[in-house]
Amino acid sequence: MKKLFLILSFMGIILFSSLLFSQNTYVFDLTSNSYSSGTSFYVNDNASNDLDVSSVWTFEAWVYADSYTSGNYPCIMDRRTVFSMYLIPGATGGDYAIRFVARNSSDYIIASVRCDDSGDSPQVMYLDTWYHVAVSRDASGNTRMFINGNLADTSTDSDFNLTASSNAINIGARYWGGYERFLDGALDEVRVSNTTRYTAPFTITVHSHPFEDDSNTLLLFHFDDNNGDDKTPNNYAQNYTFSVYGHNCSYPENYAEWDALNDELPLPVVLSQFTAKYQSGTLSLYWTTQSENGNLGWNIYRGENETAFQNNQTIKINSNLIPGAGTTTETTNYSYTDYFPVVANTTYWYWIESLNSSGMTEIYGPISLSVPPEGSDPGFIPDNQNYFITNFPNPSSGNTGL
């Protein structure tokens, strides 16, 4: 995986791209797994039982499913007698869905949220696509499942007050001795928290910033670095001391488990440039893609502050979808003129949205541009500012430069 940071700076009254940095990073590669055998890892609890989360908690991860067969129930995360997060048959039109359940001391399901047709708001999920999956419980007893920030299901079942246990948390599998269920695909940014992270729909895309460690983080696996350790995933943050082990790992055969998946997981869009320009009373936007996969087209949103998009305070400045390039590995350049009125000496913020043929959308930005004061000198230069666009997860490798 690569996290790309695109720095945008003001120079004069023209906003332009100055430099693109790239950083090689990784995902947890499980594409060689079958449902009944494969590789995973697990986290053993400590003597203080700090993995116990009880009444408020959040389990989340970026999930990529390579295959799914009904009745196999491949597992994303599992803690025996406590909870399971696993794949189930999909909502109408989808390849699969996800279910999160609480379990009792006999391993029976006692509470459930899900995103198939039995959920409150079914989410259509496809193979070979990244999804952010989060399940979060608040202090009022509401348990919510979110798929890509969309609220899929809610439960007030008190059995989601998860029981204490000394069992390990399995990542990428359910491993109950002879009963095993492995995920065929990939995982990234796996986080377990002892707090409520989400209570309402939110914005998150593959371009969102990686999760950060805080005082409520029990486990956070970035999978960013590979030092050749065949037993444990690299680069994970935590506030407590736990023991992490690989399951069915051997070196060097399974070294690629922490490696990038390269062309197996194409991004819908690889954006290399997003700029704005104000000249002669006209405000124009320009963006460039290095490749596109099933991109139907674009929408452009404008707001008057940096958080306008997430607070639903933007306007869409294009009346019709701006056609995309579909599927291509060639560079594609786009431009669009903002004909909505602007006010002098005002800063505007822009986001662009790509719509994929699978129904997924991706948000890029924001970038901002300040309209100069009326009658100002043409050489007016606002204060320099930097803006970042982060591509995440980005299952590709190598270096990219402008």
Residues 6+ apart with CB under 8 A from 279: 13, 14
- Looking up residue 304, the CATH number of its domain turns out to be 2.60.40.10
Write down the pLDDT at residue 375.
60
Q: What is the pLDDT of residue 208?
A: 67
Please compute the mean of the pLDDT values over residues 239-265 and round it to a whole number.
Answer: 56
Residue 397, pLDDT > 70, answer no
Q: Is the alpha carbon torsion for 151, 299, 187, 237 positive or negative? A: negative
Nearest to 143 by CA among 134, 159, 152, 154: 154
Range of lowest pLDDT (72-86, 127-141, 330-344, 369-383): 369-383
Q: What is the pLDDT of residue 65?
A: 92
How many whole angstroms separate alpha carbon 128 and alpha carbon 138? 32
Residue 396 lies in a domain: no
Q: What range does the domain containing 385 cover?
A: 2-25+265-391
Asked whether residue 314 falls in the same domain as residue 179, the answer is: no
CA nearest 364: which of 262, 284, 285?
A: 285
Q: What mean pLDDT comes out for the span 256-266?
A: 45
Q: Is residue 197 part of a domain?
A: yes
pLDDT in tens, 321-364: 999 998 888 899 999 999 999 888 899 999 999 988 766 678 88
Assess whether 376 and 248 both reside in one domain. Answer: no
Among the ranges 23-32, 150-159, 205-214, 222-231, which has the highest mean pLDDT value? 150-159
Q: Domain ends where: 259, 279, 307? A: 259
Nearest to 352 by CA among 301, 286, 289, 387: 301
Asked if residue 124 and residue 236 are part of one domain, the reply reads yes
Of 238, 259, 280, which residue sits at a domain end? Answer: 259
The answer on pLDDT for 193 being more than 90 is yes
* Phi-psi group of 267: left, alpha or beta (phi > 0 → left; psi -120 to 50 → alpha; rest → beta): beta
Co-location of 20 and 33 in the same domain: no
The pLDDT score that the predictor gives to residue 119 is: 97
Mean pLDDT of 172-178: 80
Residue where a domain stops, chosen among 259, 290, 312: 259
Cα 226 from chain centroid (whole Å): 21
Query: Do 221 and 320 share a structural domain?
Result: no
254 band by pLDDT with thresholds 50, 70 and 90 = very low
Q: What is the DSSP letter of 261?
A: -
Task: Give the separation between CA 347 and CA 365, rounded to whole angstroms.
Answer: 15
The arithmetic mean of pLDDT across residues 361-379, rounded, is 75
Residues 221 and 318 grouped into a single domain: no
Residue 234 shares a structural domain with residue 187: yes
Q: Are residues 6 and 72 part of one domain?
A: no
pLDDT at position 25, please? 55
**Same domain (yes/no): 325, 371:** yes
Does the residue 384 lie in any domain? Answer: yes
Judged on CB neighbours under 10 Å (0-12, 13-18, 19+), 200 is exposed
- Band the pLDDT of 163: cuts 50, 70, 90: very high
What gap in Å lies between CA 86 and CA 183, rounded to an integer? 8
Length in residues, the chain: 402
Distance of CA 33 to CAs 36, 39, 52, 99, 127, Å?
Answer: 8, 7, 29, 20, 15
Is 402 a domain residue? no
**pLDDT for res 243:** 80
Closest CA to 207 of 370, 1, 3: 3
Furthest-apart CA atoms within the chain: distance in Å? 77
Burial degree of 139 (CB within 10 A; 0-12, 13-18, 19+):
exposed
Number of structural domains, the chain?
Answer: 2
Range in 54-63, 80-89, 148-157, 338-347 the model is least confident about: 338-347
**Same domain assignment for residues 114 and 240:** yes
In this structure, of 4-8, 235-239, 298-302, 361-365, the range with the lowest mean pLDDT score is: 4-8
Phi, psi of 257 (to 5 degrees): -60, -30
CATH number reported for the structural domain that contains residue 123 in this entry: 2.60.120.200
Torsion 289-291-297-303 (CA) sign: negative
Judged against a pLDDT cut of 60, whether residue 308 lies above it is answered with yes
Beta carbons within 8 Å of 14's beta carbon, 6+ residues apart: 277, 278, 279
